[in-house]
Copies of this chain bind each other. A is one copy, B any other.
Amino acid sequence: MAHRPKLSTVAAAAGVSTATVSQVLRGTGRISPQTRDKVLAAVQEVNYLPDGRAAALRSGENREIGLVLHHLANPFNAEVVSGVSDRLERADHLVSVLDSRDDAAREGRNLRALIASMRGGLIWVPASGTDAATLDLLVAQRLPVVTFLHRVAERFDHVGLRNAAALGRAVDHLVELGHRRIAYLGGTSPRAPRAERIAGYAAALAAHDLGAPLVLPCEDSKAGGLAAMLELRNAHPEVTAIVCNGDMVALGACLGLHRRGETPGGEVSVIGFDDVADAALATPALTTLSIAPYELGQHLAERLLARLADPAAAPVHQDLDASLVLRDTTAPPLPR
């Protein structure tokens, strides 16, 4: 055999028509037990597996879900992916993951390719510079879409976070501990979530009458957090507490303190955002705004399933709370 086995290969092997084979495989129609066995044996024999494209083309069904996010290397995202996959695989869908690396051009290519292969739906963490043409395309193709974190269009389902409120909680906690100079660390993207977090941070500062906000942008990674912390200690030694754009930045900031011979929760208190698995494991364990990534992934999956079940329903927009988890990187400022 030189080629991929197809329906007709099986049909020939079993001595029946292709229609019969199809019925057996799909469990539809009326087939006698003996032909049924004959067909199944033939399927095994030639190692047949249906061509999903042809099947999908004919039947209009589609059980493939695309998951496009902006940074796979971040463990928070990896945990979200797990949640999404587990839930959707239970519903007999296949999830394939694409990483846009927060690059709008790459994201555009990915989305186009995804639509071209006609997925059944899309869970999407939009990158910073997503362009209107891509959005138009998604709308025109009538693809069920759930966006996460960054809302790009009213007509897509969306799950977001109450970023400003979360940051308020973080700042409040630091103020209660006695901190007066509190900086914000991390992020470079102009995306909405970061802006909301910074706004929440600034509003909380204002509420406590703590002066002007101090924002140090940096790459959302440990390396970025590390570098930013070193700079902060040099340029703004009066700062005794920071809130970070994500746990990776916060953990990196902690590394920066260690490298200077200082300790998180000592010279500088640190609060993260996300609650990745490493946050609880670090020494000292990281105080952070927790959003349970695995459960969140499952939640996103449920949203998409609901949309698939009723494509005509009105778009659902939802915002989740992040709760402050107190661990060991926050403490009263050192006396001086």
Q: What are the residues of chain B within 8 A of A52 when measuring CB–CB?
A: 113, 116-118
Binds B, one of A70-78, A176-184, A199-207, A318-326: A70-78
Is the Cβ of B283 less than 8 Å from the Cβ of A258? Answer: yes
Known: A53-B57, A117-B52. A82 touches B78 (CB 8 A): no
Say yes or no: B94 contacts A117, CB within 8 Å. Answer: yes
Task: Tell me how many chains of this kind the complex includes.
Answer: 2
A126 at interface, CB cutoff 8 A: no
CB–CB B47/A137 < 8 A: yes
- Chain A binding site: helix, strand, loop or mixed by DSSP? helix
- Complex-state Cα separation, A106 to B95, whole angstroms: 12
Contact (Cβ within 8 A) B106 A137: no
B contact residues around A114 at 8 Å (CB): 94
Determine which of B50, B116, B221 lies in contact with A116 in the assembled complex, contact meaning CB atoms within 8 Å. Answer: B50
When the two chains form the complex, which single residue of B118, B252, B255 contacts A51, counting CB atoms closer than 8 Å? B118
Q: Return the CB mask of A206-239 against B: 1 if under 8 Å, else 0.
A: 0000000000000001110010000000000000
On chain A, the number of residues with a Cβ less than 8 Å from chain B's Cβ atoms is 62
Residues of B within 8 A of A278 (CB): 222
Complex alpha-carbon distance, A56 and B113, angstroms: 12
User: A282 contacts which chain B residues (CB < 8 A)?
Assistant: 255
Select the stretch in A96-104, A187-195, A301-309 that faces chain B: A96-104
**A115 close to B79 (CB less than 8 A):** no
Q: Looking at the complex, which one of B78, B142, B252 makes contact with A4 (CB distance below 8 Å)?
A: B142
- Residue in contact with A112 in the complex, picked from B49, B140, B141, CB distance below 8 Å: B49
Instruction: Check if A85 is an interface residue, CB within 8 A of chain B.
Output: yes
CB distance from A14 to the nearest CB of B (A): 16
Q: How far is the CB of A95 from chain B (nearest CB, A)?
A: 7
Let me know if A37 is at the binding interface, CB within 8 A. no
Known: A49-B115, A82-B73. A95 touches B98 (CB 8 A): yes
Return chain B residues, CB-CB under 8 Å to A101: 82
Complex: A85 Cα to B103 Cα, angstroms: 13
Instruction: State whether A281 and B222 are in contact (beta carbons under 8 Å apart), knowing that A50-B116, A79-B73, A137-B49 are contacts in the complex.
Output: yes
Which B residues touch A110, using CB under 8 A?
94
Indicate if the CB atoms of B96 and A98 lie closer than 8 Å.
yes
> Which residues of A (110-132) have their CB < 8 Å from a CB of B?
110, 112-118
Contact B281 A223 (CB under 8 A): yes
A255 and B226: CB pair below 8 A?
no
Given contacts A57-B54, A72-B78, contact A97 B94 (CB under 8 A): no
A40 to B123, CA, bound (A): 30
The residue of chain B having its C-beta at the shortest distance from the C-beta of A56 within the complex is B53
B78 touches A73 (CB 8 A): yes
Chain B nearest CB from A106 CB (Å) reads 7
Closest B residue, CB atoms, query A3: B142
Minimum CB distance partner of A136 in chain B: B47
How far apart are A209's CB and chain B's nearest CB, in angstroms? 37
- Please name all residues of chain B whose beta carbon is closer than 8 Å to the beta carbon of A117 when the two chains form the complex: 52-53, 64, 94, 117
15 further interface pairs, Cβ-Cβ under 8 Å (given A52-B113, A73-B79): A5-B140, A47-B136, A49-B141, A51-B118, A52-B116, A53-B56, A64-B113, A72-B78, A72-B82, A81-B99, A85-B99, A89-B106, A89-B109, A94-B117, A96-B98
